Amino acid sequence: MNAQLLIIDDKIKVCKSLAQNFDQRGYTTLYATSSREGLALFSRHPIGVVLLDIMLGAENGIDVLQQLQRLRPQVPVIMISGYGSIDSAVRSIKLGAFDYVTKPLDFEKLLQLVANAVQASEDHKKHTHLKDRVPARSPTLVTRNPRMLTLCETIKKLAATDLPILIMGENGTGKEIIADFIHVKSSRSSRKMHKINCAAFPETLLDNELFGHERGAYTGADTVFQGIFERADQSSLFLDEIGDMPLTIQAKILRTLQNNEIRRLGGKQTITVNVRFIAATNRNLEELIVEKSFRQDLFYRLNTAMLQLPPLRERKDDIPLLVKHFLTEYATANARSLKQLSDTVMERFLDYHWPGNVRELKNTLNYAAAISSGERVETEDLPPNFSELQQAPPAENIREEVEKNLILKTLQKTKYNKTKAAVLLNMSRKTLYNKLERYGISR
């Protein structure tokens, strides 16, 4: 077997014992005793399967699972559960883990489970390879709102060009769908568009994921790794949450935009790449420029073609159309009968502020359609918290409040160790310090 296995467990003896056993069975194994080390190895190597302990000392393995999934969701993760953590193991399955095993470990059982995970991973690669060779279906832009219809015409015209595009809008407004539409309607549609969430990586890992590395670039870099720019050559690259990108990497992105060249970490030669840039953010980049956390020259370069998506509260005439679209989509995907909304529910939808925008509407409808026993979705079929929601403040205020609370909780968890907090929050120390100042958090 050639599959590469990553073991993440805070007990070095467990790591070494498992690594030795799997090496003897033909696997290539790496191990780490902390989440930071494990995430770094995961980012730098073509890992096939991860074995992850639920209890990583003071760290929570489920948090690490979610970070692994943000990096490469297709890689199977097997959770290792100790006594008293079965509930957490079950929760991890719901969150996307491949399976779990309990201590004391039965190695033969674990070996079979890993083999199953490897096979599942290979099947996924084959399926993905086939999909990549078939032109993607064009995403549906559902609207009758005059502002959106005008925007759609602009999008179609821009799709036919190779201009870099900046898509701005609140969370849930459909920025990624617009990026998909642009790619499918472009001359590059025969190749898969590559996507990366810039906010999901710490600075060093983002640099590595974007630009790749040469063998020997740093300790543990045993093979050459092609970054996403090389993988996206001759296609499109979607840089989501570009407003959260560290300044050092913004400078490298700008050079790539200007010269169509990249240099791998540890490399001496430049590599020519032909990539169509599509970037998105929910942040106000002009404010970030004033705060000196976003480069003005990069903004002007991306601002050649900017698309501002309106929030759902400003296009409520689209709600009935979107409701029909999402209910039809749900019924088709789940082989269920098509449901309608009762007049009462539709009135509530039209009155509601929708801070989560179109994504929140879709999630609400999926939930209601799943539990509704009649032909119509009634008030009692809505999510439990929906009836408690009042007219909400703007989504940006909500996002900032949630982010502030998350930062405070993380600081408390790390006893105000800002370096550890930055790692757990998937942001650079500089970004964290900027946010601490912005939210008036001090200690």
Q: Where are the domains of the chain?
A: 4-132, 146-308, 315-391, 395-439
Q: CA–CA separation, 120 vs 113, rounded Å?
A: 11
* Statement: 395-439 belongs to CATH 1.20.1250: no
CATH architecture for the domain at 4-132: 3-Layer(aba) Sandwich (3.40)
Tens digit of pLDDT for each residue in 405-433?
A: 788 878 877 877 888 888 878 788 778 88
- On average, the pLDDT of the chain sits at 87
pLDDT band at 313 (very low <50, low <70, confident <90, very high): very high
Burial profile 11-25: b = 16 or more Cβ within 10 angstroms, e = fewer? eeebbebbbeebeee
The secondary element (H helix, E strand) that includes residue 401 is helix 395-413
pTM score, whole prediction: 0.62
Confidence (pLDDT) at 45: 85
Range with lowest mean pLDDT among 5-19, 103-117, 303-317: 103-117
Question: What's the token pair of residue 156?
Answer: 């179609």
Q: Which of 164, 168, 239 is nearest to 209 (CA)?
A: 239
Task: Answer whether 4-132 and 395-439 agree in fold.
Answer: no
Q: Which of 416, 108, 146, 403 is nearest to 283 (CA)?
A: 403
Q: CA–CA separation, 326 vs 319, rounded Å?
A: 10
- CATH number for 146-308 (one of 3.40.50.300, 3.40.50.880, 3.30.750.210, 3.30.2310.20): it is 3.40.50.300
Checking if the pLDDT of 129 tops 50, the result is no
Checking if the pLDDT of 82 tops 80, the result is no
Tens digit of pLDDT for each residue in 344-358?
A: 999 999 999 999 999
pLDDT band at 85 (very low <50, low <70, confident <90, very high): low
- Compute CA distances 389 → 284, 362, 423, whole Å: 27, 17, 33
Q: How remote is the C-alpha of 122 from its chain's centroid?
A: 22
pLDDT band at 44 (very low <50, low <70, confident <90, very high): confident
Checking if the pLDDT of 303 tops 70, the result is yes
Checking if the pLDDT of 380 tops 50, the result is yes
| Domain 315-391, CATH | 1.10.8.60
Q: CA–CA separation, 80 vs 100, rounded Å?
A: 6
